[in-house]
């Protein structure tokens, strides 16, 4: 039987570019993986499943454009530390012992957390990405996967890293009912050689896919690049003809005016990760400035290990409030603008704007429902966007649908066994620490 | 029959002053309103009720030291505005139409939100406080109530305000099984005359109770006070002999070194409200500096209207991450320190340190349980404090107990009808807007 889900009487919030959001009471019909109809009157007989969405907000599933899902295993492993000590003494030693099995266990745990908090699409960069792809396939989410390449100038390592990335592309791009896309993931300008970055640019052009890279996260890395190249990071990437509109740069905390010009000219996408930048004391990204320059900013949680969760609702509140206090302007990053960066702009950054990011007929049915009958969303003073950004957290998500498939309904997972996944995660991190 | 609740096999987290937190697996017996015993082996037959707390964290109920509970009615009424426009065009016009009934409805809604997110004690300043007291009595929470006095130099108004405060004290101090205390609430140094502040100091000494006041929230108010008195706000209050260790000052965003010295010398308590300060673009309070000066800092959400929720877990994460990024020190306001300010320091600020704020035999049974069997708290990497501050939100609270009475168990309210309270809140704000 065809998959036909009727969501009845919802309060539909539809983020739009350069326009006020559309908010209306209506019903929505999903046919297979797509939104087939939005109308107040849809025949119930046409549906194989009916969801009553009275007093529920229906909005696009959130898009998390920068994370390391398998690192969910490292949640609260090490905190309140300098970045150096956190990486050198804790994260890197344990990462050296990872394998596909561990990465699958961490990714599946992260997938459960995302489903429960309303994220339907994420962009990941890590190792053992075949394990992550398996978790994505099983969990029913949408994702853009990148293998994190690092060569530190070693040409043997470089060849291996490129081969690993090409294998990931060949094996997984457009798999899992097209829910998985593969980008290229050079880790950063300070861990990848010029040769590796140039090779990545060629491969991205060849495969017509995107690039996911960490950029300008800490002051230190910028000083290091300036010392080695005489240029600031984006200037250096511009110099080697790396920059193009297919690049998603995570962080962008420290940016010179000239770099902002380069980002704008090349239509680079910036993934903003406020919780991670705050927790690691990296700094405050000039998001308001970027948006005023019409640069496409999206939102990411970074790994759970430096956040320490994957809740995009919380991330929205952090993003908005941080810009307001940093610019002394309470109008900065309004609730509507914040929802836009967490949905539409995410879709655009991941080259998925024709498929997801808004509620329109013909788009993929990546949809979440938020129950307004909750203490923290009462009363209903009509500022739907305010309630979503400033009052809600991920636990207000009631139903999560991705690619037309119900992953969670009434806060119950449809087919994943969460207790087993928690148990498995606990066992895996225990083994990893003992080894 | 005596109230004897046995909480079995919990992971007990006990915040302590100047020591590492105590974290141990044990059971706890409540007798009537108090913690009677903490021991691995407590006879089940001695209990009238048993709660199985396996894989649950048991910790003190959180203490919110600055809010305006009735303003929960104004959640998402007006956002993304300048403070002036927010107050003049939206909040003050609607506040002028308030009465006891509206304030009760808003306070009861806020009480439900607090119970659900693990806050058991709050300090409130507002109008129609008899309505708030009624809601506190009904909801079973603990609170310190202050009537917000404003005279703007008008001597008639001043008399009325003082009388209102004294009536509140006489009618409600030590009522509701001693769950309600009454402080004096001069709104601020810029809305209260010197005469009113001097009178408040006398009354506080007479009644031996505390003072709750807004201080140094925005740059503008400081400039105004400097212009009218020639002094900074805390210098002015020191000059008129207002300062003493019974004063809880909310905000403290803009503080000179001399004012920090005065705060320290007089043992003033500072209530930090990071979300509100960020959302209204007031600024970033120098909390790390205050703590290094051994000043007692506690945590508050401010009203839901400028936050826009009452979730103290979220507030803890904001507090910690904001200090880390502001000081470029990832060790600033560690997870343990943050829990301490949200529990023990709150108790101390409200003159309740002998009764609440930690898990000790003889203290009042103000206790919450957090279910660790949740996606966002898995895996259990043993950093309990990290998970509470960086990963959790209020929805992870499973059970809330105040004064030995179970207010919520397994996420279900024990005796309040939440649907009715939401309906009533929606109806009240609708009427208020129409009037």
CB distance A339 to A385 below 8 Å: yes
Is residue A312 scored above 80 in pLDDT? yes
User: What separation in angstroms does the CA of A63 have from each of A273, A310, B268?
Assistant: 13, 11, 45
User: Are A425 and B117 in contact (CB < 8 Å)?
Assistant: no
User: What separation in angstroms does the CA of A217 have from each of A243, A294, A338?
Assistant: 17, 21, 21
Counting Cα atoms < 13 Å in the Cβ hemisphere of B330 gives 22
Stretch (H or E) spanning B29:
strand B22-31
Chain A: nearest CA to B429, how far in angstroms?
7
User: Are A418 and B375 in contact (CB < 8 Å)?
Assistant: yes
Count helices and strands in chain A by DSSP H and E runs: 16, 18
User: Are A324 and B280 in contact (CB < 8 Å)?
Assistant: yes
User: Are A318 and B314 in contact (CB < 8 Å)?
Assistant: no
* Residues forming a β-bridge with A388: none
Stretch (H or E) spanning B405:
strand B405-409
Sequence-separated (6 or more) residues with CB below 8 Å from residue A242: A197, A198, A200, A201
User: Are A308 and B282 in contact (CB < 8 Å)?
Assistant: no
Q: Whats the size of chain A, residue-wise?
A: 435
Q: Can you state the angle between helices B129-139 and B155-172, rounded to 10 degrees? A: 20
Residues of chain A contacting residue B395, judged by C-beta atoms under 8 Å apart: 393, 395
- Per-residue 3-state assignment (H helix, E strand, C coil) for B325-387: HHHCCCCCCCHHHHHHHHCHHHHHHCCCCCCCCCCCCCCECCEEEEECCCHHHCCCCCCHHHH
CB distance A212 to A233 below 8 Å: no
B242: helix, coil or strand?
coil
Cα separation, B279 vs B358, whole angstroms: 31
Residues of chain B contacting residue A426, judged by C-beta atoms under 8 Å apart: 378-380
Cα separation, B433 vs A381, whole angstroms: 10
Residues of chain A contacting residue B322, judged by C-beta atoms under 8 Å apart: 278
- Work out the burial of residue B175: count CB atoms within 10 Å of its CB; fewer than 13 is exposed, 13-18 middle, 19 or more buried: middle
Cα separation, A285 vs A262, whole angstroms: 16
Chain B: nearest CA to A69, how far in angstroms?
13
pLDDT for position B365: 98
* Residues forming a β-bridge with B295: none
Chain A: nearest CA to B427, how far in angstroms?
9
Cα separation, B314 vs B391, whole angstroms: 9
Cα separation, A348 vs A224, whole angstroms: 31
User: Are B387 and A278 in contact (CB < 8 Å)?
Assistant: no
Strands (E), A205-288: 211-215, 247-251, 269-272
DSSP per-residue letters across B150-215: --TT-HHHHHHHHHHHHHHHHHHTTBTTTTEEE-BEE-BTTTS-HHHHHHHHHHHHHHT--EEEEE
Looking at residues A382-395, what average pLDDT do you find? 93
Q: Which residue of B has its CA nearest to A83?
A: B330
Q: Residue A1's pLDDT band (boundaries 50, 70, 90)?
A: low
pLDDT for position A87: 86
Entry pTM: 0.98
Q: For residue A41, what are its two tokens?
A: 């009157």
Q: Nearest Cα to A299, choosing from A135, A141, A123?
A: A123
CB distance A70 to A132 below 8 Å: yes
Chain B: nearest CA to A413, how far in angstroms?
12
Name the phi and psi angles at A87, rounded to 5: -75, -55
Tokens 């919380």 locate to A314
Q: Which residue of A has its CA nearest to B218?
A: A328
User: Are A75 and B381 in contact (CB < 8 Å)?
Assistant: yes
Looking at residues A167-191, what average pLDDT do you find? 98
Q: What angle do CA A240, A246, A248 make, to 5 degrees?
A: 90
CB distance B204 to B211 below 8 Å: yes
User: Are B329 and A281 in contact (CB < 8 Å)?
Assistant: yes
Cα separation, B118 vs A248, whole angstroms: 39
Of A80, A280, A308, nearest to B334 by CB-CB distance is A80
Q: For residue A414, what are its two tokens?
A: 């449809």
Residues of chain B contacting residue A327, judged by C-beta atoms under 8 Å apart: 281
User: What separation in angstroms does the CA of B48 have from each of A62, B36, B409?
Assistant: 46, 14, 16
The per-residue pLDDT for range A75-125, each reduced to its tens digit, is: 999 999 887 888 889 999 999 999 999 999 999 999 999 999 999 999 999
User: Are A331 and B82 in contact (CB < 8 Å)?
Assistant: yes
Where do the H-state alpha helices sit in B230-358?
A: 233-239, 257-265, 274-279, 287-292, 312-327, 335-342, 344-349
pLDDT for position B1: 60
Region of residue B258 (phi > 0: left; psi between -120 and 50: alpha; otherwise: beta): alpha
| pLDDT per residue of chain B (435 residues) written in tens, 0 to 9 | 689 999 999 999 999 887 788 899 999 999 999 999 999 999 999 899 999 999 999 999 999 999 999 999 999 999 998 878 888 899 999 999 999 999 999 999 999 999 999 999 999 999 999 999 999 999 999 999 999 999 999 999 999 999 999 999 999 999 999 999 999 999 999 999 999 999 999 999 999 999 999 999 999 999 999 999 999 999 999 999 999 999 999 999 999 999 999 999 999 999 999 999 999 999 999 999 999 999 999 999 999 999 999 999 999 999 999 999 999 999 999 999 999 999 999 999 999 999 999 999 999 999 999 999 999 999 987 788 999 999 999 999 999 999 999 999 999 999 999 999 999 999 999 999 987
B41: helix, coil or strand?
coil
Share of chain A above pLDDT 90, in %: 94
Of B284, B328, B332, nearest to A325 by CB-CB distance is B284
Q: For residue A210, what are its two tokens?
A: 């995107």
Counting Cα atoms < 13 Å in the Cβ hemisphere of A162 gives 17
Region of residue B278 (phi > 0: left; psi between -120 and 50: alpha; otherwise: beta): alpha
A267: helix, coil or strand?
coil
Of A279, A309, A378, nearest to B422 by CB-CB distance is A378
User: Are B75 and A327 in contact (CB < 8 Å)?
Assistant: no
Is residue A361 scored above 90 in pLDDT? yes
Is residue A391 scored above 90 in pLDDT? yes
**Complex ipTM:** 0.98
Domains of chain B (ranges, CATH numbers): 4-60+365-413 (2.30.40.10), 62-349 (3.20.20.140)
Cα separation, B9 vs B57, whole angstroms: 10
- Work out the burial of residue A156: count CB atoms within 10 Å of its CB; fewer than 13 is exposed, 13-18 middle, 19 or more buried: exposed
User: Are B76 and A383 in contact (CB < 8 Å)?
Assistant: yes
pLDDT for position B20: 82
Residues of chain A contacting residue B278, judged by C-beta atoms under 8 Å apart: 321-322, 324-325
Cα separation, A119 vs A271, whole angstroms: 15
Cα separation, A312 vs A271, whole angstroms: 13
Of B77, B383, B419, nearest to A79 by CB-CB distance is B383
Q: Whats the size of chain B, residue-wise?
A: 435
User: Are B278 and A86 in contact (CB < 8 Å)?
Assistant: no
Tokens 């636990």 locate to A395
Q: For residue B346, what are its two tokens?
A: 């709150």
Cα separation, B125 vs B405, whole angstroms: 25
Q: Nearest Cα to B368, choosing from B146, B174, B142?
A: B142
Residues B225-231: contacts with CB under 8 Å, at least 24 apart: B225/B189, B225/B190
pLDDT for position A94: 94
- Work out the burial of residue B10: count CB atoms within 10 Å of its CB; fewer than 13 is exposed, 13-18 middle, 19 or more buried: buried
User: Are B75 and A117 in contact (CB < 8 Å)?
Assistant: no
Residues of chain B contacting residue A382, judged by C-beta atoms under 8 Å apart: 76
Sequence-separated (6 or more) residues with CB below 8 Å from residue B107: B69, B70, B72, B124, B131, B132, B134, B135, B136
Mean pLDDT (chain A, rounded): 96
Q: For residue A36, what are its two tokens?
A: 């087939």
Q: Can you state the angle between helices B312-327 and B335-342, rounded to 10 degrees? A: 130
CB distance A428 to A105 below 8 Å: yes
């Amino acid at each position: 039987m065809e998959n036909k889900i009727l969501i009845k009487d919802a309060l539909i919030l539809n983020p739009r570019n350069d326009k006020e959001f559309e908010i209306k009471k209506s019903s929505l019909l999903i046919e297979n993986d797509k939104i087939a109809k939005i109308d107040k009157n849809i025949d119930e007989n046409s549906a194989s499943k009916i969801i009553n969405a009275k007093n529920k907000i229906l909005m696009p599933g959130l898009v998390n454009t920068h994370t390391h899902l398998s690192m969910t295993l490292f949640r609260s492993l090490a905190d309140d530390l300098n970045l150096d000590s956190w990486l050198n003494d804790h994260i890197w030693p344990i990462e050296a012992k990872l394998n596909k099995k561990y990465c699958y266990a961490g990714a599946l745990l992260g997938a459960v957390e995302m489903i429960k908090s309303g994220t339907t699409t994420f962009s990941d960069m890590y190792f053992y990405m075949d394990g992550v792809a398996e978790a994505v396939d099983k969990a029913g989410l949408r994702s853009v996967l990148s293998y994190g390449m690092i060569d530190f100038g070693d040409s043997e390592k470089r060849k291996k890293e490129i081969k690993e990335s090409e294998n990931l592309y060949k094996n997984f791009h457009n798999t899992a009912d097209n829910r998985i896309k593969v980008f290229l993931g050079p880790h950063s300008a300070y861990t990848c050689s010029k040769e590796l970055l140039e090779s990545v640019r060629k491969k991205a052009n060849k495969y017509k896919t995107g690039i996911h890279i960490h950029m300008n996260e800490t002051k230190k890395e910028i000083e290091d690049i300036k010392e080695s190249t005489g240029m600031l990071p984006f200037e250096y990437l511009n110099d080697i003809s790396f920059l193009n509109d297919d690049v998603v740069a995570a962080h962008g905390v420290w940016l010179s005016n000239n770099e902002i010009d380069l980002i704008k000219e090349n239509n680079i996408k910036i993934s903003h990760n406020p919780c991670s930048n705050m927790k690691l004391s990296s700094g405050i990204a000039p998001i308001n400035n970027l948006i005023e320059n019409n640069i496409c900013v999206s939102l990411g949680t970074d790994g759970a290990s430096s956040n320490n969760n994957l809740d995009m609702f919380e991330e929205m509140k952090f993003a908005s409030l941080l810009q307001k206090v940093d610019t002394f302007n309470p109008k900065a990053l309004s609730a509507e603008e914040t929802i836009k960066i967490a949905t539409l702009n995410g879709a655009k950054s991941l080259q998925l704007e024709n498929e997801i990011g808004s509620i329109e007929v013909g788009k993929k049915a990546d949809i979440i429902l938020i129950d307004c009958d909750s203490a923290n969303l009462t009363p209903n003073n009509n500022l739907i966007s305010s309630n979503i950004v400033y009052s809600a957290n991920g636990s207000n998500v009631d139903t999560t649908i991705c690619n037309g498939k119900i992953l969670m309904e009434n806060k119950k997972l449809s087919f994943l066994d969460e207790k087993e996944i928690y148990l498995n995660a606990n066992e895996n991190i225990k083994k990893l620490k003992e080894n």
